[in-house]
Amino acid sequence: MRAIARVYRQAFGAAKGKTANVSVGGRAKMLPPRTLATLALIAIVAHAPSGAAQGTTSADEGWREFSGSMNLTGHRHVIAMGSAWRAGIVELSGTVLLSGPQRPGVGFGAKVLALTDSSFGLVGRALWTDERGDQMWSELKGEGTATGNHIAGTITGGTGRYKGAEGTYELSWQYVLELEDGTVQGRAVGLKGRVRAAAPAPK
């Protein structure tokens, strides 16, 4: 801390247009004002206590962790271009049930619309609606739709109590039913994530 104070005093003098001697490798060296000010800032930031050191937890920051299950049914429309390239659109709906003491809600109706491609995986959107009618929106990105593929969700906002919400979640998707007419049924394995509401606007 004494070193920080010394550099700060030198930088304060530099802010007034003065140069100062700084010991570098045991030798005194004249440094210009701008360099001294930069060194002072780096020293202060480097020695500032981190959030972890202050015992900050996810709950203290407003984060609400959750885990749960997801079961969806719907249709998948696929076009095959040769034996190695497949592209499709998946439209699903069903339920999400969350657990954990900090969960944002218990049950949600869920809708998913996604584009799948064997060359880049999956991109899509998900809509969760709770028992009050409040919605939570998220973007989906994944490795595809085959059994066991990993999908990541980014919560981008919503309505009602989820307005301005942010967060992330992840899951592995498994199809449990695939019919020739395109009807599919699947479930999420290892669904877990965290979410927090937007900070209240200043009064």
Tell me: the pLDDT tens digits for 98-151?
998 989 989 999 999 999 988 888 999 999 999 999 999 999 999 754 545 899
What gap in Å lies between CA 194 and CA 99, rounded to an integer?
12
Residues 82 and 179 in one domain: yes
- Domain assignment of residue 182, yes or no: yes
Residues 114 and 70 in one domain: yes
Q: pTM here?
A: 0.66
What is the extent of the structural domain holding 185?
A: 64-196
- Domain assignment of residue 59, yes or no: no
- Domain assignment of residue 202, yes or no: no
* Structure-token match 């064997």, residue found: 118
- Domain assignment of residue 134, yes or no: yes
C-alpha distances out from residue 185 to 92, 98, 132, 146, Å: 8, 19, 26, 12
> In angstroms, how far is CA 31 from the centroid of its own chain?
42
Residues 29 and 114 in one domain: no
DSSP 119-173: TTEEEEEEEEE-TTS-EEEEEEEES-SSTTEEEEEEEEEESGGGTT-EEEEEEEE
C-alpha distances out from residue 21 to 25, 28, 32, 198, Å: 13, 6, 10, 48
* Structure-token match 């140069």, residue found: 19
Residues 42 and 78 in one domain: no
Residues 96 and 186 in one domain: yes
- Domain assignment of residue 77, yes or no: yes
Of all helices (H) and strands (E), which one includes residue 87? strand 85-99
* Structure-token match 């942010």, residue found: 166
- Domain assignment of residue 99, yes or no: yes
Total domain count for the chain?
2
Residues 24 and 102 in one domain: no
- Domain assignment of residue 52, yes or no: no
Residues 18 and 112 in one domain: no
Residues 16 and 86 in one domain: no
Residues 171 and 86 in one domain: yes
Mean pLDDT within 171-186: 92
- Domain assignment of residue 170, yes or no: yes
> What confidence tens digit (pLDDT) does each residue in 61-111 have?
889 999 999 999 999 999 988 877 889 999 999 999 999 898 998 999 999
